[in-house]
Amino acid sequence: MTYKEDQSTQDVELRAPLRVAHAEVTARLAAERQRIADIKAASARPFGAGPEIVDVAPARGTVERFTPRETVNRGGRTVVQRSGWRGHDALRVSDAFDVMEAQAARRFAAEEKKRALKDPASKARMFVPPFSKAQLIAGRDYAALSERVASAGVRCSSVEALGAGGQGSFIDAVIRDVRHLDAMLASIGDVVVLAPVRKGRARRVIRARALVDQVCIANRTLSDVLLAAGWTSQQGSRDALRTGLCQALDRMYRAI
């Protein structure tokens, strides 16, 4: 082998690892760029929301658009109207209910596609969200109340121990929140939503209070709750858990 041939072989052997390393770095950079793009897209201001809202704010996380409304009295009639600034919609941070509704919508779309292929003459069905508006109000009010009471530094269960600081004072607002939260907690009750039939398995009992806290406060989906308690995320288990959650949210809404 000549010197030139030997040098060429060495160059090829040296360049091969460099090409592999370059390909890996390129792939990682592409994945990182996509990850950042996904974060920006998820946190971008949706169309129709107020222009004063920062367009891209990754720190606020995934958001959902909603229409602020208020109840006013007009000529003796109670009217519900939009209350957003200059008619614009506002934003709220997405929660587990948004995720579960999106998951249910995707499953429904997939089922409808299969059904249409199997029977083209079948009539299309309407998607029914897994949670009613009243249930969503109850769950989100509970999460907001829990956060406000926790941030107020309340350590006692008796609201009378807080005292009173006069009409409209901060402590009066805290007392109202504590009483409201206590009423919602009492409505949840100590109900068993899901329990294993056979003993000796890793699956644990799931109670209504723990289920509500995990979904509304910890932002876990029903599948997340099942897996954390040692269950598999099967349709039957998810349906049982959703039924128990809906019943608890209905009781909480009546307590509002």
Domain boundaries, position 63: 58-93
Residues 151 and 63 in one domain: no
Report pLDDT for 215. 97
**Interval 21-63: pLDDT, tens:** 778 888 899 999 999 888 888 778 877 777 777 888 877 777 7
Check: CB of residue 237 under 8 Å from CB of residue 203: no
Report pLDDT for 202. 82
Residue 39 falls within a domain, yes or no?
no
Residues 81 and 132 in one domain: no
Residues 188 and 78 in one domain: no
Report pLDDT for 172. 79
Q: Where are the alpha helices (DSSP H) in the chain?
A: 3-43, 96-118, 133-151, 170-188, 208-212, 222-228, 235-255
Residue 30 falls within a domain, yes or no?
no
Hey, what are 110's tokens?
């997939």
Report pLDDT for 137. 93
Report pLDDT for 166. 47
Residue 42 falls within a domain, yes or no?
no
Residue 153 falls within a domain, yes or no?
yes
SS3 (DSSP) at 91: strand
Among 93, 120, 137, where does a domain finish? 93
Asked whether the whole model's pTM tops 0.85, one would answer no
Residues 75 and 170 in one domain: no
Residue 198 falls within a domain, yes or no?
yes
Taking the chain (256 residues) in runs of 10, the rounded mean pLDDT of each run is 54 65 86 88 78 78 75 75 74 88 93 90 90 95 91 58 54 85 94 84 91 96 94 92 97 92
Number of domains, the chain: 2
Round to whole Å and give the CA distance between 64 and 95.
Answer: 9
Round to whole Å and give the CA distance between 214 and 55.
Answer: 31
Residue 81 falls within a domain, yes or no?
yes
Hey, what are 245's tokens?
């959650």
Round to whole Å and give the CA distance between 65 and 92.
Answer: 6
Report pLDDT for 157. 47
Residue 247 falls within a domain, yes or no?
yes
Among 93, 113, 137, where does a domain finish? 93
Residues 153 and 244 in one domain: yes
Round to whole Å and give the CA distance between 160 and 96.
Answer: 34
